[in-house]
Structure 1
Amino acid sequence: MLILIAAFYVVVSVAAYITYAVDKKAAIRKRRRVSEKSLHLLSLAGGWPGAWLAQQHLRHKTQKTPFRLVYWLTVALNLAILWGVVSLFDSFSR
């Protein structure tokens, strides 16, 4: 089960990184942007490691304090959900 969870996080993180890159390129070119809601939903779904890497490597969404606060909230919520899921499966496997 842990391998499946890790694989899921990798896939969603890659998707988040790519989405941040697309948004960064759109911002530079003054084109239609990816909504912040979509970026936060990706983080909440487990893509927060990829989102964090994108923020650092692409220097994207690092200055907007309200965005960063919601981002860290999605990280905390995701980790709480992950803990609950792992605990639930652990209790069934005993």
Structure 2
Amino acid sequence: MVQYGIAMNLLAFFMMGLDKYKAKRRRFRIAERTLWLLSFAGGAIGAAVGMHVFRHKTRHRVFRYGLPLLAAAEVFFYWKWMR
């Protein structure tokens, strides 16, 4: 369970960085749906950190407020689950 959470968060973080890289170079982008699916599948913390580190998707309200909220729920879930 712990390995899954770590893997999903690293993947979501990486995907945020990759999408930012592609956006700067005007290349084919990663769909927002994919970023949200990764977040809901357990990578919300990594996606939220990636959003701030790469300064990506910060203008979109749904990402700016939704990802941190989802990440907080994920932290609560991990905290309750791992006790």
TM-score by length of 2: 0.77
Return 9-18 or 71-80, whichever deviates more: 71-80
Residue 38 of structure 2, aligned match among 30, 38, 42: 42
* Distance in 2 separating the partners of 1:55 and 1:43: 12
Unaligned runs of 5+ in 1: 87-94
* Number of residues of Structure 1 aligned to a counterpart in Structure 2: 81
Q: Is the 8 A contact 1:20 1:51 kept in 2?
A: yes
The higher radius of gyration belongs to 1
* Distance in 1 separating the partners of 2:38 and 2:67: 10
| Structure 1 residue ranges, 4+ long, deviating more than 2 angstroms after superposition | 66-80
The amino acid that maps onto 2:67 is: Y
* Distance in 2 separating the partners of 1:13 and 1:78: 11
Identity %: 32
Residue 56 of structure 2, aligned match among 57, 60, 74: 60
State the Cα RMSD in Å: 2.4
